[in-house]
Structure 1
Amino acid sequence: MPLPVIGNLLQLSKNPHLSLTKMSETYGDVLQIHIGTKPVLVLSGLETIRQALLKQGDVFSGRPDLFTFRLVGDGQSMTFGSDSGEVWRAHRRLAQNALKTFATSSSTSASASLLEEHIDKECSYLLKKFQQLIEKGEFDPYRYVVVSVANIICAMCFGKRYDHDDQEFLKLVNLTDEFGAAAASGNPADFIPILQYFPNRSMKNFIDINKRFLSFIQNIVQEHYRTYDKNFIRDITDSLIQHSQEKKANDNSGVQLSAQKIVSIVNDLVGAGFDTITTALSWSLMYLIAHPEIQEKIQSELDRVIGRERKPRLSDRAQLPYTEAFTLEMFRHSSYLPFTIPHW
């Protein structure tokens, strides 16, 4: 039974995912609690989540209108915004098309896309860096992986690779880390509305992080508008500007893509890629270090199918069943986040 005002907050520990897991053992895979004044439905278990997010994805695709969500991307975020109607779908399709166009566009390398070319360059740098660090002794790969991942995402969105010591670039990486830490901790003001009007250091910090991140993206998008050439699409931002100027947002809805919405889409794409991809690579490294026999089998398959004259490409995927199996098992077995972003 929830208490007045605070609901079931006292029953959630510092690790709420563990508290909720224990509750699900008693109450089942579908249970309701109150966080502050808001009722929250908690879904656990593979089949329950599959039923909600896949089989009934359209029903559960919305986001709750939380106070902190309105602060992300100046309230225009596709990821955190509460709008999930036709306009949102049109913008989502545009973002997907821009990603697909960039990922499949031919590069100067034979049989490779622009995306693969950026990944190839960044991997070469990262491997050299690891080799230098190994010679000095033990090191934490995470801080180097996250910068390389950020560089690939920036290359996709901005057409630019940054030096790993570039201060502007490192500020962006740090802002993303700060956003993740602030968002993961949650905010009571989302569930007890009156707290929105009280001084709150963590809320002030969250607002500041979002403003600085958005300002960084706005400056880059403005620069893209100034240097845009319809005959030379450099990156995802250019692709979105092209769609905007050709008014191809959606034939049925008549939705046009404003400069503000382009900033918001790029903001979402940059923010979404950092943590998840870095986490995936970190889990992969950990599993391979813990299981050297798997590492040897993967290397053997790569040597046999591809050799050492070139790096693997996405087109090689079908010929690398063991490497593919390892990747999928890593996704299944590891844990990226204790919760999804709340659904509505």
Structure 2
Amino acid sequence: STLPDQMMDNNSSRYQKAVASKFPLFISQDGTNGDVKNKALSYTQIRYMQHVDLEPVHTERPGEHIAYYKIANHYKWALDELFIKHDFRRVIILEDDMEIAPDFFDYFEAAAKLLDTDKSIMAVSSWNDNGQKQFVYDPKALYRSDFFPGLGWMLTKPTWMELSPKWPKAYWDDWVRLKEVRRDRQFIRPEVCRTYNFGEHGSSMGQFFDQYLKPIKLNDAHIDWTSEDLSYLTEDNFLIKFGKDVASATPVHGFDELLKAHNLDVERIQYDDQGDFERVARQFGVFEEWKDGVPRAAYKGVVVFRYKSSRRRIYLVGPDSLRQLGV
């Protein structure tokens, strides 16, 4: 089922009409495939855009996949259209191989107020890289992160106007993760994902689909986001609260000691450097990857996840994390 099929599913057509009237929906097609175009045009509540770029792609390194160049080019074109031509204040970007949670739009609507007022937030994402079912517990919990998660995310016009002129030719998501692009801003991400990626055959070639994407938990809990107080996510509040949480966690030395400590609710494991982090992350099964000095899903070098789907939190804490957290 494609994303618009879900969005326009007859069972929930009343909800979808409400969504479409509140959030103008666009499909942007890259290229000229007639079947894709006809499918897109068959949705009455969705506006169709087509990006046709017949210029040959010049990759910068031999053996590179041209898809990454085409994707970056399409993103820039589509976001320029929406922000500059249509003058939207905010845009949510969703790839076509994503399934969405029932509270997807409500979540973004609630987070939009935060995004508008807190300039230290660069974007809001619906994705947690460590959102596999064994690592999550609380569907209401949201976090700040220094790592751009992508995969269903929202940004504002001022942020796009800053990024658009220097947008890269390829690998746009890794580019957003560079320190000089991010400039000390952070991202809001949920504990439990609001999107699910079923695209085993997408441009990423299903390389870690089975390990990381297939076990992702898509939120199914009903959350009334209008009544949730998200002020804990502002820069100062979150730093203080997260710092206290990490400081009060019981230090354990490595994976083996953690297995013995059955009765603890919250533990922290110190890692010394990237290699050490990768070793510990591998033992738990969380993402090992770093980009420009930041582990996936990390905040101030700390990666937090639940232990075996329970309330029990594990913090992997970097050598400089406690200082950065001011504890």
The answer to whether the superposition gives a TM-score over 0.5 is no
By percentage of residues, which structure has more strand?
2
Tell me: higher relative CO, structure 1 or 2? Use CA pairs within 8 A at least 6 residues apart.
Answer: 1
| TM value normalised by structure 1 | 0.23
The TM-score with structure 2 as length reference comes to 0.24
More helix by share: 1
